[in-house]
Chain A
Amino acid sequence: MNNKFRISWSTILISVGSLLFMVIVLGPLIGLVLKWVQAQKIPSDFWQLIIPSGRRLLLLSKTVSYSLGVSVITLLIGFTGAFALLRRPGRLSRTILWWSVATVAVPPYIHALSWSSALYYFNQSMEFFTGWRLPVEGWRVSLWVQSMALLPFALGLSLMALACVEQNLVKAGYMLQSDRQVMKQVILPLAAPVLAGAGLLIFLLTLMDYSVPSLFQVNIYPLEIFAEFSATNDPLRALLLALPLVILAVIIAGAAGLTWKKASVQPGFGFLEWLPTFRGWPGWRLFERISVTLMVLQIIVPILMLLKLVGSWQSFVVSLASSKIEIAYTFGIMFITAAAALPLAYAVAIWLNQRSRFFLGGLPALFPLVMPAPLIGIGLINLWNRPETSAVYGTFLMTVMAALSRFSPWAVMILQAQLSRQNKVYLEAARILQKNGHQTFFKITLPMMSPGFIAAASLVFILTGGELGATLLVVPPGQGTLTLKIYNYLHYGSSDQVAGLCLLIALISAVVGFVLIKSVLRMWGGEDD
């Protein structure tokens, strides 16, 4: 009887959590559909909008190739770099890791501006000495800069991928096979699911961001969507134009999701001492060195450029003093969103894992990942700007919901992966010996899930900090986030202020990253010096 009561409570919690998740995540989309149904205004060029042809088809294919290129480059560098840093754990490796984490939260546009300036100065010197210069625009430059901006994501997720590799399997592999074979047959297959998810994240982040390519004279499909939206102010037309991207991303997300489910983050990097050294494979060692060098450059270039622009300590203090409210508001929103995403995403992850419900519930939840951000904001306004919800509309909860809607699907994917690889033996034993369900949850489930929770919360936390398109539409009057302020100042040319705020984000992210790494290592009983 008691057991039945517990099961029903957990079922209720999971159902309520999943329902809430669907309302918050799919709410904006439902809001948009409601608006069209009310307006009964279907564009006459409906089919032309959703089926790209001619110029638009070419643009779409270029965009997909570009996004794939960025994913491949960042993952190659991120994975080999993570490999090299983990094999030599020390102060330098940890410094590189922390600062990489720190630069994740700096908007990609700032990375791009820093690289653009660095290229300019590099070319000036090169031209003076050799008469030769690197190109400053075009696909190759844009691909490079975008890859550098997203490299911290690739590094973080590659670390997660390597944490999925079980030490015992690597040990066993060494007894029988060479380094190359262990890499090929043990490490890569075990890391592949998280790497696939990482590739998807980077692919989607690239697919939806036209600001970095446009700095280098490269047009991608989202610019087409934004130009249409800007010209017509019609969200329906923008969404119809975005539909090919949505379908494409959902297909890729579906494929990645199927492999992602096979992954789980293991407690601790206990396999550190067992990573292959590849002594007989000089090509790999060289590639590792190049990757680590690029990682260091990826940290140095934006940080140096920001320091140069800030100019002085006083200028940095002025930036902080003038943005106290935005700093408090932004980090408040980041914390609340990350905290709120976990129970909701956990409920959905359990619901999806109970049966094969991925295509029923999982795929629609992915829509917000590829919907243009302003459309999410518009959907939220449609849904919540009503007399009966006035206690919510116009408050910080709208900003939280915008970020939850955009980023909590990532938390679902991570927790789903973690859930699917829980140790069933521990859970069975706990069920037999437990005093009640709470005891099992807090003493067994939570510790086993904690790496997934930390990874999911960190990702949502960081992505929320950089949210712009949806926040602008729902931020309460009189409030503002740091990202909004940075982009506003960027236009005015207050480079020192922008740089000061970016540096602040980087510093706080470094502290958060440091605390996270420390706590993770302590929790997993790893190295903590």
Chain B
Amino acid sequence: MLKKVGLFLLMLCFILSTGCSSSKQVVIYTSVDQVVAEPILKDFEKTTGIQVRAVYDVESTKTTGLVNRLLTEKNRPQADVFWSSEFVQTLLLKNEGLLTTYSSPSAQSIPPIYKDPEGFWTAFAGRARVILVNTDLLTPDQYPESVLDFADPVKASNHYGLAYPLFGTTLNQAAALYAYLGPEKARSFFENVNKLGVRVVDGNSVVRDMVAEGQLAAGLTDTDDAWDAVEKGKPVKIIFPDQDSMGTLVIPDTIALIKGGPNPDTGKQLLDYLLSPQVEKNMVEIGFSQIPVHPVAEQKMELPAGGVKNMPVTFQEIYNQLNLSSKELKEIFVR
């Protein structure tokens, strides 16, 4: 009996250890959804013959899981490439000295605002922070037009919702409001949001599901989540907020090479591949990105005429507001 158990455990160890060695490989840490990133990485494997070993983040760790792994592995990095579904964590890694510069030939046609001036990271495949409304519950004249409507005593109520503004892209949006409105006005806005009983839920996907099912009339979420509800035929409409005023926040993916990664050459090859127009086109087609940085002929989602008006704040300005916004919002919402 004991021999059988021992043999079984040995076999398990063998199975668990397989697939860990290859002559040419690259290690990528990514907070992009596995369902989006995996096929793209498989295509890269097929095209180049380089084995991709990926670690995927999950939403419940609010994109901090892999960043903490990278920070802790700083003295002996295990990853070659970091592909983030937003920009704040990449700026943090740059500040912590974890990234190395690389000017990818694939990024030449990308506008300078989407590239780090020092060459540490490149942004692509943008998403926007939009309002998803349930068309069964609201008539067009009742649709919110601005993010600030979430603090409007007439419009907002517990039928509006957003994810905790302490994590992920909702935190990015909060920091962007701090940068644009100034800390005092932004704090007052969020205090009103809380006072009016706007529902604060666990993530953008929860906001999407609650609006789609009619549990919320309107909610703030990302375009990829919103588009998913549209594609499933839910009674929803996507509103790009503040197009006549401060603009909509666009949050791109960012990609960077890790300093001292074990496979720098294959890392660069992967980075070149991911920044290619074809990959971005694929991401638009599958509905993950709606605001590409390369020109894309066909766009599934209906964008505002003349393009999306961006919020006039830089990534660095948003990053600078993170600590303050995070501290104040915790005091307001975690009670």
B7 near A: Cβ within 8 Å?
A: no
- CB contacts (< 8 Å) of B13 on chain A: these are 336, 396
Of A229, A230, A385, A472, the residue contacting B57 (CB under 8 A) is A472
Whether the Cβ atoms of A477 and B79 lie closer than 8 Å is yes
Whether the Cβ atoms of B327 and A491 lie closer than 8 Å is no
Whether the Cβ atoms of B76 and A387 lie closer than 8 Å is yes
Q: How far is the CA of A484 from the CA of B215 in the complex (A)?
A: 27
Whether the Cβ atoms of A335 and B9 lie closer than 8 Å is yes
Whether the Cβ atoms of B202 and A214 lie closer than 8 Å is yes
B195 near A: Cβ within 8 Å?
A: no
B305 near A: Cβ within 8 Å?
A: no
A395 near B: Cβ within 8 Å?
A: yes
CB distance from A26 to the nearest CB of B (A): 18
Whether the Cβ atoms of B16 and A332 lie closer than 8 Å is yes
B27 near A: Cβ within 8 Å?
A: yes
CB distance from B20 to the nearest CB of A (A): 7
Stretch at the interface among B48-56, B111-119, B136-144, B271-279: B48-56
B241 near A: Cβ within 8 Å?
A: no
Q: Given A374-B65, A468-B58, A487-B58, does the pair A219, B335 have CB atoms closer than 8 Å?
A: yes
Q: How far is the CA of A328 from the CA of B108 in the complex (A)?
A: 43
- CB contacts (< 8 Å) of A55 on chain B: these are 331, 334-335
Q: Given A336-B9, A472-B65, does the pair A492, B205 have CB atoms closer than 8 Å?
A: yes
B72 near A: Cβ within 8 Å?
A: yes
A420 near B: Cβ within 8 Å?
A: no
Q: Which A residues from 207 to 263 make CB contacts under 8 A with B? A: 211, 214-215, 217, 219, 223-224, 226-233, 235
Q: Report the nearest A residue to B204, measured CB to CB.
A: A491
Whether the Cβ atoms of B57 and A231 lie closer than 8 Å is no
- CB contacts (< 8 Å) of A487 on chain B: these are 58-60
- CB contacts (< 8 Å) of A336 on chain B: these are 9, 12-13, 16
A522 near B: Cβ within 8 Å?
A: no
A134 near B: Cβ within 8 Å?
A: no
A343 near B: Cβ within 8 Å?
A: no
Stretch at the interface among B30-38, B243-251, B295-303, B308-316: B30-38
Q: Which A residues from 395 to 415 make CB contacts under 8 A with B? A: 395-396
Q: Given A211-B202, A336-B13, A339-B5, does the pair A492, B68 have CB atoms closer than 8 Å?
A: no
Q: Given A233-B92, A374-B68, A381-B69, does the pair A224, B330 have CB atoms closer than 8 Å?
A: yes
Whether the Cβ atoms of B60 and A211 lie closer than 8 Å is yes
Q: Which A residues from 325 to 366 make CB contacts under 8 A with B? A: 325, 328-329, 332-333, 335-336, 339
Whether the Cβ atoms of A228 and B60 lie closer than 8 Å is no
- A-B pairs with CB below 8 Å: how many? 182
Stretch at the interface among B126-134, B185-193, B206-214, B252-260: B206-214
Of B28, B69, B78, B206, the residue contacting A215 (CB under 8 A) is B206
CB distance from B15 to the nearest CB of A (A): 6
- CB contacts (< 8 Å) of A475 on chain B: these are 55
Q: How far is the CA of A488 from the CA of B59 in the complex (A)?
A: 7
Whether the Cβ atoms of B166 and A230 lie closer than 8 Å is yes
Q: Which A residues from 461 to 496 make CB contacts under 8 A with B? A: 468-469, 472-473, 475-480, 484-485, 487-494
Whether the Cβ atoms of A229 and B215 lie closer than 8 Å is no
Q: Given A211-B60, A472-B61, A473-B68, does the pair A491, B334 have CB atoms closer than 8 Å?
A: no
Q: How far is the CA of A328 from the CA of B217 in the complex (A)?
A: 42
CB distance from B320 to the nearest CB of A (A): 14
Q: How far is the CA of A514 from the CA of B167 in the complex (A)?
A: 41
Whether the Cβ atoms of B164 and A214 lie closer than 8 Å is yes
A508 near B: Cβ within 8 Å?
A: no
A49 near B: Cβ within 8 Å?
A: no
Of A217, A395, A478, A491, the residue contacting B205 (CB under 8 A) is A491
Whether the Cβ atoms of A493 and B199 lie closer than 8 Å is no
CB distance from B61 to the nearest CB of A (A): 6
Chain A contributes a number of interface residues (CB within 8 A of B) equal to 65
A52 near B: Cβ within 8 Å?
A: no
Q: Report the nearest A residue to B72, measured CB to CB.
A: A381
- CB contacts (< 8 Å) of A489 on chain B: these are 34-35
Of A215, A230, A469, the residue contacting B202 (CB under 8 A) is A215
- CB contacts (< 8 Å) of A227 on chain B: these are 164, 166-167, 326, 330, 334
Whether the Cβ atoms of A477 and B9 lie closer than 8 Å is no
Whether the Cβ atoms of B335 and A59 lie closer than 8 Å is yes
Q: How far is the CA of A58 from the CA of B75 in the complex (A)?
A: 40
Q: Report the nearest B residue to A56, measured CB to CB.
A: B334
- CB contacts (< 8 Å) of A387 on chain B: these are 76
B237 near A: Cβ within 8 Å?
A: no
CB distance from B181 to the nearest CB of A (A): 20
Whether the Cβ atoms of B64 and A233 lie closer than 8 Å is yes
Taken residue by residue from 1 to 33, chain B's Cβ proximity to chain A (1 for < 8 Å, 0 otherwise) reads as 000010011001101110110000001110001
- CB contacts (< 8 Å) of B86 on chain A: these are none
Q: Given A214-B202, A231-B327, A472-B57, does the pair A378, B72 have CB atoms closer than 8 Å?
A: yes
Rank and list the top 3 A-B pairs by shortest CB-CB distance, nearest first: A478-B53, A477-B53, A231-B326
**12 CB < 8 A contacts A-B:** A137-B199, A229-B68, A230-B167, A231-B166, A231-B323, A377-B69, A381-B69, A381-B72, A385-B73, A393-B78, A395-B16, A472-B57
Residues of B within 8 A of A (CB): 5, 8-9, 12-13, 15-17, 19-20, 27-29, 33-36, 51-62, 64-69, 71-73, 75-76, 78-79, 92, 164, 166-167, 171, 199-206, 208-209, 213, 215, 225, 228-229, 232, 322-323, 326-327, 330-331, 333-335
Residues of A within 8 A of B (CB): 55, 58-59, 109, 117, 120, 136-137, 211, 214-215, 217, 219, 223-224, 226-233, 235, 325, 328-329, 332-333, 335-336, 339, 374, 377-378, 381-382, 385-387, 393-396, 468-469, 472-473, 475-480, 484-485, 487-494, 497
- 8 additional A-B pairs beyond A232-B323, A472-B57, A491-B204, beta carbons within 8 Å, are A120-B213, A217-B201, A332-B15, A395-B16, A475-B55, A477-B27, A478-B51, A491-B203
